[in-house]
Structure 1
Amino acid sequence: MNKRIFKTGSIAAFALAVGISQPVMAQESAFFDPMDRIHPVWAENGMVSAQERLAAEIGRDILAKGGNAVDAGVAVAFALAVTLPRAGNIGGGGFMLIHDAKTGQTHAIDYREMAPQGASRDMFLNAAGDADSDRSLYSGAASGVPGTVAGMKLALENYGSMEWAEVIAPAIRLAEEGITVTPELADSIEAEREHLEKFRSTAAVFFKEGGEAYRPGDRLVQADLAKTLKKIAAEGPDGFYKGEVAEAIAKAVQEAGGVITPEDMAAYKPILREPVRGTYRSYEVVSMPPPSSGGVHLIQILNALEGYPIGALGQNSGETIHLMAEAMKLAYADRSEYLGDPDFVDVPVEALTSKDYAAEMRRKISADFATPSVMIKPAGLAPYESDQTTHFSVVDKDGNAVSNTYTINLNYGSGLVAAGTGVLMNNEMDDFSAKPGVPNAFGLVGGDANAIAPGKRPLSSMTPTMVLKDGKVWLVTGSPGGARIITTVLQVIMNMIDHGMNVAEASTAPRVHHQWLPDELRVEEGISIDTVRVLQAKGHAVALKEAMGSTQSIMRDPETGSVYGASDPRRPDAATVGY
């Protein structure tokens, strides 16, 4: 059996830390020697898994005080705005899935950013008619109207049990008293120095006097953000979407070349949507509907792969990866044509997620040869992202659950902090198709369905997901990763269902990704050289690249109620904590 040790500094460091000398990632078998198993975090009652430890512990403490999963989730979301500024936010937006154990219902909240009324289809095209990525990423025009504050209020009001001010209080304390700068935080700020120093208001937050960098162990105080959070705690969403905060945001955005107005801020509304649902080998999969493409294509790919004996073929075998890649290509081609904001375009969700359509996909897949992407076109159906997103999962003692993915798009969003507010603005307008057929920052190609329009929500790859067994939550998961979010979540689910991994093993295993264009099969370190050769022989252009995703996952035993969780080792500050 071939084995391959991960390189130091990637997943190897994690593997060595937990005592795994040679994780089995060979093409022949999915078998893990019992002595080599990676063990998840265990808790008897509730659990929080998040990309930053302080925020995770705040959520855990809310659960221990008697709060439910939604109370904890809202507290984590506000805390991450302080402790993980490159992705956690109140200046962005996202999606939340909520499972109510008492009723058995799962709800989806869309609090994605919206294009301001002054936005126009060609606003990011230059004089030559070409897409201008600097304007769509690093100017005031890059920002959509933020949705996080309104989304959290809707969640707490409808499904929580604690007071609004109570769940925001920990975030206010962290912003006011300061947080200890970790090596990860210091590195991320320094890596984005050029963009953060572009705006004086931003540099004043993330650098010391004279531009000196914060170093690990320093204390980062965010006084303006604390003041804004206090207004939100006292006045509800009106403290953010109306009055001085809204006016300051609009002023900052307009001075940086954008078009958000106080009226745009006041008009923002989150939306309750019906989740997308599918089944995979007797499990129910529930995920986010459009304007997220995540749930649709997760279920679409699972449906296609359900027709193959994936477990028998082996975890990360050449045959398994080939079939996964071919199904991924077909789904991402469909994404380019059919997915957009359902309030503006007719998205064929039922068609794309049907078992019949999956059978059609399988008829296009050869077991022996990779189909060149140039030969794949979106299917003939009826007419109708970012690395630095972050995800957290929560399960409480009663089996209620939250799966939440939110973002400001790229690291530190547009780089613009609205002066006096501490609010770091998103650059989500880049997730629209600035010009049909031209890739965005993640290489994703879009069409007319995702064209810019006033009041429209940009298409996303965010995939907050729950897997149910006999009507009860079994797995809560999600990830950042831009275009690779969908395939990252896919592989966690398949690793657990098809290959019998526990949640920690499923989170650690090497990942692969294909998004149709560019025509390359991206793999992480840890895929055996034998497997790579099998894939190349089938015609795949295999590209070894950096790690993908940062899953935060919780598995709940429906029989005992015990919870088992794991934070992805690909991000050093992540933590899973329970009580």
Structure 2
Amino acid sequence: MTLLLAGCASSEIDQVLPGGVFKGAVVADEPLAARAAMEMLAKGGSAADAAVAAYFTLAVTYPSAASLGGGGVCLVADWDRGEVFALDFVAPKSSATDAYRATAVPANVRGMAALHARYGYLDWRTLLAPAEQIARFGEPLTRASAAAYAAGGNALLAQSEAKGIFASRGSLPVEGQSLPQSDLADVLAELRLNGAGTMYKGQLAERLVKAFGEAGGSLARQDLQNFSPNWQTVTGVQYGNDRIYVTPPPAGGGLVAGQMWQMLADGKRYARADKGEKLHLLAESARLAFAGRARWLADDGTNIQPADLLSKKAAAANMANYSPSASGGAGNADNGAPRQSAAPASTGVVAMDYLGGAVACSFTAYQPFGTGWAAPGTGILVAPSPEPRDRNPLSLGGIMIFNPQVRSMKFLAAGGEGAQAATAMINVAAAAVIGQNRLDKQVGRPRVHHGGGDTVYIESAAGDEAVAALTGRGHSVSTVKSLGRVNAIHCPPGYPVDPEKSLCWAVSDPRGFGLAAFPD
């Protein structure tokens, strides 16, 4: 008998199913997206089906991070083959150079089509139907959607097209208000009926090029025709009987998370540390990981060998001068203070199906609500062109802990909210997996982040004792309200090795208003 817990930050209620058969779970930052994904699992869909349905719903309900104009990455556990693959659909720059604002090539739709083509069970049309219905008829805005509009929606007021969609009543939408988006519904209907190809080579492609130009953006027909998602095999690194898998570049968040994990696991440092040193370890491993990222960024990332960076040898070298009682000093890369007030520009979705297949995806609009401008007649928010040092996929990434020999999934997570997403994932993963603690208690636990400068950031809820543990070791500490968003699923015994004894937790981050959902 399988137990599943779903943490729902929007209602602050946790539920435990005392019995029944596990049919999967999904976690997303916006409840309507989680609900749509849950419906796919209930129909017998795969984790990939759930992730696709969640994404297209997010494109309607959470466009600050998941517009059809953006891009993303996914990690996928292939249960049949006992392997993990990464899907890269990071939006490239447009080749057009004569535009008022450089824009990204819309990549999410083709990325989701690639995911569905390889791992989907259900019909494509079924997956897009919930998103189209919400866009067509409206649905009361959830607290998650309303919070994003309140935090960053002013970006939508500069252009009459976007303002007409999102502030037609004279102000930005609030919780409970219905927000039909007829133009976006028409685009979703076209994608549902004709497939993703119409956005890249069909009639919709022609409309997009024209509409992006009218929005002052840069998009050429060949940009759409030439874009193709990229599949990579992820080898992972050993952890006990399991392997740790992280999203490879260009999604830099995966490598940062993976290097942090290896440093914490090296010599069982994290497992043996007391409460104060655990915070110190998280800060030091983040500092060193971001320093490493700065080095491979300086090399344009062209010679990155993830296996080398994630090796035990690399972890031991990174921690060679580690002191449990003293800070290693300032890092050589400074990602600045974690953003606190802006709407999210990235979001994560995790899903697992009844067979043990799993998907962890991160999506981004590169900045909240992209450029804030909508392509006329499409309802699509145009995403800005990604830049190496600013608007980029470096914060994207996911993590999985999987035993490929026995096809057993133990942990998966995806993060959002900028550079701190990677450190947030490891704060949670280390406490839950290495520390062998309940996931629902760890996702809400106060976090620490070191972006590579001379300041360690810690959530104010951690309290004076935690701050003292860091300052006493020589860290310069600044308290902040919130550090990142993490959505995660954890099956401590592994799933589905013994479904009768498995226990799986699915938890949304209480710092937001998302939902962890499961089919009845």
TM-score scaled by length of structure 2: 0.88
Offset of 1:14 from its aligned partner? 6.8
Aligned to 1:54: 32
Aligned to 2:338: none
Aligned to 1:30: none
Aligned to 1:323: 281
Q: Matched residues in 2 for 1:410 and 1:390: separation?
A: 12
Task: Label 1:247 to 1:199 Cα distance change in 2 as closer, same or farther (>3 A).
Answer: farther
- Whether 1:78 and 2:56 are equivalent positions in the alignment is yes
Q: Matched residues in 2 for 1:575 and 1:498: separation?
A: 23
Report 1:356-371 matches (<5 A).
356-371=313-328
Offset of 1:17 from its aligned partner? 5.5
Task: Label 1:256 to 1:325 Cα distance change in 2 as closer, same or farther (>3 A).
Answer: same
Aligned residues: 495
Asked if 1 retains the 8 angstrom alpha-carbon contact of 2:143 and 2:513, the reply is: no
| 1:167 match: secondary structure | helix
Q: Matched residues in 2 for 1:41 and 1:94: separation?
A: 33
Report 1:343-492 matches (<5 A).
345-373=302-330, 387-427=344-384, 429-430=386-387, 432-433=388-389, 440=390, 458-469=392-403, 471-492=407-428
Report 1:494-573 matches (<5 A).
494-517=430-453, 519-556=454-491, 557-558=494-495, 559-560=498-499, 561-573=502-514
Task: Label 1:555 to 1:389 Cα distance change in 2 as closer, same or farther (>3 A).
Answer: same
- Whether 1:214 and 2:173 are equivalent positions in the alignment is yes
Aligned to 1:445: none
More displaced 10-residue stretch of structure 1: 551-560 or 166-175: 551-560
Instruction: Indicate the structure with greater strand content.
Output: 2
What do the CA deviations read for 1:272-313 (whole angstroms, capped 9, x no partner)? 112251233543111211111122222212222222432232
Offset of 1:404 from its aligned partner? 1.1
Q: Matched residues in 2 for 1:166 and 1:474: separation?
A: 29
Asked if 2 retains the 8 angstrom alpha-carbon contact of 1:341 and 1:459, the reply is: no
State which of 85, 101, 104 in structure 2 corresponds to 1:107. Answer: 85
| 1:86 match: secondary structure | helix
What do the CA deviations read for 1:496-550 (whole angstroms, capped 9, x no partner)? 1222211211211111100113x21010122231221231122111110121222
Task: Label 1:105 to 1:327 Cα distance change in 2 as closer, same or farther (>3 A).
Answer: same
Offset of 1:252 from its aligned partner? 4.2
Structure 1 runs, 4 residues or longer, greater than 6 Å off: 13-16, 38-43
RMSD (CA atoms): 2.8
Asked if 2 retains the 8 angstrom alpha-carbon contact of 1:393 and 1:478, the reply is: yes
What do the CA deviations read for 1:435-455 (whole angstroms, capped 9, x no partner)? xxxxx37xxxxxxxxxxxxxx
> Quick one: which amino acid aligns to residue 443 of structure 2?
S
Asked if 2 retains the 8 angstrom alpha-carbon contact of 1:180 and 1:217, the reply is: yes
Task: Label 1:45 to 1:563 Cα distance change in 2 as closer, same or farther (>3 A).
Answer: farther
Report 1:182-197 matches (<5 A).
182-197=142-157
Q: Matched residues in 1 for 2:208 and 2:415: separation?
A: 28
Offset of 1:236 from its aligned partner? 1.6
> Quick one: which amino acid aligns to residue 442 of structure 2?
A
Offset of 1:167 from its aligned partner? 1.2
> Quick one: which amino acid aligns to residue 550 of structure 1?
R
Aligned to 1:575: 516
Asked if 1 retains the 8 angstrom alpha-carbon contact of 2:91 and 2:107, the reply is: yes
> Quick one: which amino acid aligns to residue 551 of structure 1?
V
Q: Matched residues in 1 for 2:399 and 2:16: separation?
A: 19
Aligned to 1:88: 66
Asked if 2 retains the 8 angstrom alpha-carbon contact of 1:463 and 1:489, the reply is: no
What do the CA deviations read for 1:418-459 (whole angstroms, capped 9, x no partner)? 1100111223514x23xxxxxx37xxxxxxxxxxxxxxxx54
Q: Matched residues in 2 for 1:212 and 1:531: separation?
A: 42
Offset of 1:376 from its aligned partner? 8.0
Q: Matched residues in 1 for 2:517 and 2:311: separation?
A: 35
Aligned to 1:140: 101
What do the CA deviations read for 1:247-294 (whole angstroms, capped 9, x no partner)? 443344445554321221221110111225123354311121111112
Task: Label 1:195 to 1:301 Cα distance change in 2 as closer, same or farther (>3 A).
Answer: same
> Quick one: which amino acid aligns to residue 577 of structure 1?
F
Offset of 1:471 from its aligned partner? 4.0
Task: Label 1:474 to 1:341 Cα distance change in 2 as closer, same or farther (>3 A).
Answer: farther
Aligned to 1:250: 209
> Quick one: which amino acid aligns to residue 219 of structure 2?
I
Asked if 1 retains the 8 angstrom alpha-carbon contact of 2:27 and 2:351, the reply is: yes
Q: Matched residues in 1 for 2:75 and 2:12: separation?
A: 33
Asked if 2 retains the 8 angstrom alpha-carbon contact of 1:276 and 1:289, the reply is: no
Asked if 1 retains the 8 angstrom alpha-carbon contact of 2:28 and 2:514, the reply is: no
Aligned to 2:123: 163
| 2:460 match: secondary structure | coil
Unaligned 5+ segments in structure 2 are 1-7, 335-341
Asked if 2 retains the 8 angstrom alpha-carbon contact of 1:387 and 1:409, the reply is: no
Unaligned 5+ segments in structure 1 are 1-12, 19-37, 124-134, 378-384, 434-439, 442-457
Q: Matched residues in 2 for 1:577 and 1:117: separation?
A: 42
> Quick one: which amino acid aligns to residue 346 of structure 2?
T
Asked if 2 retains the 8 angstrom alpha-carbon contact of 1:245 and 1:421, the reply is: no
Task: Label 1:290 to 1:57 Cα distance change in 2 as closer, same or farther (>3 A).
Answer: same
Q: Matched residues in 2 for 1:280 and 1:501: separation?
A: 17
Asked if 2 retains the 8 angstrom alpha-carbon contact of 1:40 and 1:504, the reply is: no
| 1:373 match: secondary structure | coil
Asked if 1 retains the 8 angstrom alpha-carbon contact of 2:211 and 2:377, the reply is: no
